Chains A and B, each alone.
Chain A
Amino acid sequence: MSSVGIKGYSYCLNHTPELGLHYGSTPFVEREAKGESDFLKSLPRYIQTYEQAAGYAPNQAYIGGIDYEAFEGAKTPWIENYLTNAQRYGRYGEIMPEDEFLGLMAICDVFDLIWLEKSFADEVKTKLSKDPVMNESIVARLKGVHELAEIETEVKDKKGRPLYYGGKIVGCVRNGHEIDDCLFAYVLMENLACKAGGVLALLHLLKNSGTKPEEIDFVIECSEEGAGDMNQRAGGNFAKAVAEIAGCVNASGCDIRGFCAGPVNALISGASQVAAGARKNCVVLAGGAVPKLYMNSRDHVKKGLPALEDCLGNFAVLLVPDDGTNPVIRLDALGKHSVGAGAAPQAVASALIYEPLSAQNLSFGDVDKYAAELQIPEITLPAGAGDVPHANIKMTAALAVMKKALEKSEMDGFIKKHGVIGFAHTQGHIPSGVPFIGVACDHIKAGTMKRVMIIGKGSLFLARLTNLADGASFLIEPSGGASDASKAGASRPGTPAAVSKEDVKSMILEALSEIVGKLS
């Protein structure tokens, strides 16, 4: 089997401005190094309310609150044109408010690490009970309820990290070890937030795909967090921990890492296991990264713009055997940025885009959309990092010109037609192509797209193990192939069209008749 069905998908955001103000790496490092600096004093004035975050067009596009086409048509700048009547829930998932997310983190804590103040916990429990993906047994996990004085002692004397809501301390994450920095309160908070995001995405995935938790066979988690202790710094395993909370009692799981290329590699790995029959099905998911909250806020504040990096991103995808009913990931057309491919942008684009297409006799124009690195440009442009999705599609168009598949004069049209506007938060692994899987599958099911390429790129060099970057890509198509040219060579000049068994039979009969004719 070289194709695997995509049965379901979910996308959620957790609006967590106060986690960001205190534990996003940019504010956190500033506070540690300089105390309450002018930047830190200014930052709270630039944060968005929940209502603003919910009405921010890219956020609604992410959770499926608006269609991608409506997002493309949304008035820009989005920060000055918040959507009216924006809802918490979209067809892919939800934007969870911060108080409920702190409650969900406590639900995901099985080591008495998160303590919540009693009245706050009671309120949050009531709110969480109303979330359509929660059930009684999950909400009942919310324990660790304490008096505020106990929480303050934990923070003041025992190296716990406070949790805030509405500017007040409402809980804490307790320190996990005196010396082992892998178990310090900050790291545990980061990991539990990632786990909670993964759980929320998984619960929405189960709902969206009509799947019971016990039907899940395997889970692969692909965030950028590291869970472990000093003897096995990132030993894992987020996947199984997430599956446990969601009630997936028949599932096991493991984690796959690769910076921002993690999700695409994890999807290829999960799809391969399903294709081989090793797993009945496989969920690939990830929660978000607390340190990346307000990562570029220094530039946003400097320019008087809203600090938009206030949401953790989560996603989950359910892979099943290709039974002809779901859009599929093709495993015979994978892009791979090999060690020897080189670091130049055109070499990377060639390895990830041109090579898998040309191996299948496909051309650049045969792909409806290229989804690579979908960061929201209103976040990255003021920070000097450019419009990343636009830069990627521009490179793809330039490569198409180099390969003589496109005239230079056609580049702008190609970029507009085949590019994707960024609608994902700068959460590292989250924007790496995967947010477009839902849109792609919806369009393929509706017959309005026939082929989409998902591309992830990872900055491996950040770990100081290698100077190399990484990347991977795959194609999504209708089951059975796109009608024009999904089968290798089917529509290419000089290559034979696909033939059926009946065609072969009649050709043989024709040939035999000819021979008989010559003999007689």
Chain B
Amino acid sequence: MGKLAGKKLLILGERDGVPGLAIEACLKDSGAEVIFSVSECFV
């Protein structure tokens, strides 16, 4: 548990950067609640 515990998260990922799913995986044990997660593509 870190400083994100109890927070609500909006995750915006990018395919050739870091995808939303990967960010979600990193934050799995942070104690935060992911309320929206998406990957986008700008190319």
Give the B-binding residues of A (Cβ under 8 A). Answer: 259-260, 295-296, 342-345, 373, 375, 380, 383-386, 388, 391-392, 426, 428, 431, 457, 459, 461-462, 467-469
Residues of A within 8 A of B39 (CB): 343, 459, 461, 467, 469
Give chain B's interface residue range (CB within 8 Å of chain A). Answer: 10 to 19
Given the interface pairs A385-B14, A459-B15, A469-B15, the reply to whether A428 lies near B20 with Cβ below 8 Å is: no
Question: Considering the chains assembled together, what is the distance between the CA atoms of A462 and B40 in angstroms?
Answer: 7
Question: Considering the chains assembled together, what is the distance between the CA atoms of A385 and B40 in angstroms?
Answer: 11
Question: Considering the chains assembled together, what is the distance between the CA atoms of A88 and B17 in angstroms?
Answer: 35
Give the A-binding residues of B (Cβ under 8 A). Answer: 14-22, 25, 38-43
Residues of B within 8 A of A391 (CB): 16-17
Q: Which of A295, A345, A373, A459 contacts B22 (CB 8 A)?
A: A345
- B25 with A343: CB separation less than 8 A: yes
Smallest Cβ distance from A324 to chain B, in angstroms?
Answer: 37
Q: Which of A385, A461, A467 contacts B43 (CB 8 A)?
A: A385
- A388 with B43: CB separation less than 8 A: yes
Smallest Cβ distance from A18 to chain B, in angstroms?
Answer: 23
Residues of B within 8 A of A468 (CB): 21
Question: Considering the chains assembled together, what is the distance between the CA atoms of A384 and B40 in angstroms?
Answer: 13
Residues of A within 8 A of B16 (CB): 373, 385-386, 388, 391-392, 457
- A343 with B21: CB separation less than 8 A: yes
- B21 with A383: CB separation less than 8 A: no
With A342-B22, A468-B21 given, name 12 new contacts (CB 8 A): A259-B41, A296-B42, A343-B20, A388-B43, A391-B16, A392-B16, A428-B43, A431-B43, A459-B15, A461-B39, A469-B15, A469-B19
Smallest Cβ distance from B33 to chain A, in angstroms?
Answer: 18
Residues of A within 8 A of B41 (CB): 259-260, 459, 462
Residues of A within 8 A of B15 (CB): 457, 459, 469
Which residue of chain A lies nearest to B38 when distances are taken between CB atoms in the complex? A461
Smallest Cβ distance from B42 to chain A, in angstroms?
Answer: 4
Which residue of chain A lies nearest to B24 when distances are taken between CB atoms in the complex? A343
Question: Considering the chains assembled together, what is the distance between the CA atoms of A177 and B17 in angstroms?
Answer: 41
- B19 with A343: CB separation less than 8 A: yes
Residues of A within 8 A of B21 (CB): 343, 467-468
Question: Considering the chains assembled together, what is the distance between the CA atoms of A342 and B24 in angstroms?
Answer: 12
Q: Which of B18, B19, B20, B43 contacts A373 (CB 8 A)?
A: B43
Question: Considering the chains assembled together, what is the distance between the CA atoms of A350 and B15 in angstroms?
Answer: 15
Given the interface pairs A373-B16, A391-B17, A457-B16, the reply to whether A344 lies near B42 with Cβ below 8 Å is: no
